[in-house]
Structure 1
Amino acid sequence: MLRQTLRALPVTLALAAPAAATDLETLSDAERDAFREEVRAYLLENPEVLMEAIAVLDQRQAEAAAQGDSAMIANHAKALFESEGDWVGGNPDGDITVVEFMDYKCGYCRRAFPEVEELVESDGNIRYILKEFPILGEQSVMASRFALAARAELGDEAYKQAHNALMTMRGDVSEKSLTALAESLGSDWETLNAAMEAPEIDQIIAGNHQLAQAMQISGTPSFVMGDEMLRGYVPLAQMREIVAGQRSE
């Protein structure tokens, strides 16, 4: 980024000076060398200009990225916000929708879990969508399949119970741990294990992976909040600020 800024500075300074004396394409070699020396001397005397230029560049790049994210969200709104394969919680009629791409074996997803729960519960006007996005190996896939099977067989409440348990589960996701979880849901391992192999579950997980690729999401947790994209863990206070900002627009 610093190199980009340094390359851009001569042009920036040139635009601020008399055009006839600073058209770099028409300068002689000697004039060009002299101009470069002037730029160098100015930067050595005023190094804070570099930091100012970098800050402007960072802001412009962030704005461009945000605009790109907003466009992707708009282009994929139906898959993000209206997929029947996703569990929807919070306030179904909320004025802000939060979508989370998550993986049960992701440490940062586990860290975010209680804070997202607090955000949704304390706000009361957030529609919250969970997208199963297992990317961290066989246990991640097994956990997602189990949660989706619980939803298919037992309903949304059982899915959320399974989700909460898997997010806080210590140790490996295994047949033993899932057997105990199935029993706590009022079912059994044989029933849910069979349901885990349903083609509908393949379609949900594959669809979420395709959507994530289209949205340039490669890690978890990743969030869509209104028309903003958040890639990675975000503290509760910052999430609340973003929600407030969305409402003020």
Structure 2
Amino acid sequence: MMIRFAAPALTALALLAGPAQAFDLTQMTETERAAFRDEVRSYLMDNPEVILEAVQLLEERQANAEAQADLDMIQTNADAIFNDGFSWVGGNPDGDITLVEFMDYRCGYCRKAVPEIAQLLEQDGNIRFIVKEFPILGDASMVSSRFAVATKQVAGDDAYGQVHDALMELQGDPSEVVLRRLAEGLGLDADAILARMDSDEVTSEIAKTRALAQALRISGTPTFVLQDEMLRGYLPVDQMVAIVAEKRDAN
């Protein structure tokens, strides 16, 4: 006569066996294993919320692991992220919170984020904002970034800020004629900027940022680093405000 163990009974037997004899399903007969499976299935059918709880727990563990991995990468690459010596710094340079954006001028969500970031910086007033040129969406992206970086090297931070905003609104391809007109419209030395675009100095800055993005496992734009957290993708201003508040409270 086969003895049918209930799932709780099997668990109890496993616990009573102690460390000397761990509960091993492989030691069960086919009949016992089938009975055990029936009990487990019956329990899950009667308590389906257990499956949801398990899935939620798994998702929480995965999210925590990803957050920890991001934190480790940020700490390892902190100097390159926050103080590389060449990326444009806006907002409040002495702010208590630093927001870094890896962006591409041809990225629709980067463009969508422009007014959101501007609103955040205006209403907060104590955020240091760093822009990382990360052209990944084709030749037009690269040309735009080269023009922006060349502008910064030739004409300084204020000129870069103006060009950055203009490129974010630019419709059509950034041809030489278009870029020349843009520079001249801002009162900049178009010849000097265009001549600088293909220089080793410009190439080096973009290459360093690309290497940093690879080290941080960034493959899309916009991607933000907010203090010790990676924020992948577009975020509306209210969410950014909430995260900034959390960072301040944590300090």
TM-score, structure 1 as length reference: 0.90
2:153 aligned with 1:159, yes or no?
no
**Percent identity of equivalent pairs:** 54
Structure 1 position 51, deviation (Å): 1.4
State the match for 1:146 in structure 2.
Answer: 147
Task: Return 5+ residue gaps in structure 2 as ranges.
Answer: 1-6, 16-22
Superposed, which structure 2 residues align to 1:159-198 within 5 Å? Answer: 159-198=160-199
Superposed, which structure 2 residues align to 1:1-249 within 5 Å? Answer: 17-20=11-14, 23-249=24-250
Structure 1 position 25, deviation (Å): 4.0
1:225 maps to a residue whose letter is: L
More deviation, 189-198/235-244? 189-198
1:17 maps to a residue whose letter is: T
- SS of 1:186's partner is coil
Structure 1 position 121, deviation (Å): 1.7
Q: Which deviations, in whole Å up to 9, do the C-alpha atoms of 1:17-56 show, x marking residues without a partner?
A: 3252754243333222211111111112222221121111
Bigger Rg, structure 1 or 2: 2
Q: In structure 1, what is the Cα distance between the partners aligned to 2:98 and 2:223? A: 14
- SS of 2:25's partner is coil
Give the 3 Å change call, closer, same or farther, for CA 25–140 of structure 1 in structure 2. same
Q: Which deviations, in whole Å up to 9, do the C-alpha atoms of 1:184-219 show, x marking residues without a partner?
A: 221243221101122111111001110001100000
Q: In structure 1, what is the Cα distance between the partners aligned to 2:225 and 2:101? A: 7
2:12 maps to a residue whose letter is: P
Structure 1 position 86, deviation (Å): 0.1
Alignment RMSD (CA, Å): 1.7
- SS of 2:89's partner is strand
Q: Which deviations, in whole Å up to 9, do the C-alpha atoms of 1:136-194 show, x marking residues without a partner?
A: 01110010011111111111000000000011112222112211111022124322110
More deviation, 31-40/185-194? 185-194
- SS of 1:17's partner is helix
State the match for 1:5 in structure 2.
Answer: none
Q: In structure 1, what is the Cα distance between the partners aligned to 2:57 and 2:13? A: 23
Structure 1 position 233, deviation (Å): 0.8
Q: Which deviations, in whole Å up to 9, do the C-alpha atoms of 1:76-124 show, x marking residues without a partner?
A: 0000000112000111111111100000000110011110111112111
2:52 maps to a residue whose letter is: M
More deviation, 170-179/145-154? 170-179
Q: In structure 1, what is the Cα distance between the partners aligned to 2:210 and 2:30? A: 55
- SS of 1:219's partner is coil
Q: In structure 2, what is the Cα distance between the partners aligned to 1:178 and 1:92? A: 29
- SS of 1:18's partner is helix
State the match for 1:4 in structure 2.
Answer: none
- SS of 1:80's partner is helix
2:46 maps to a residue whose letter is: E
State the match for 2:4 in structure 1.
Answer: none
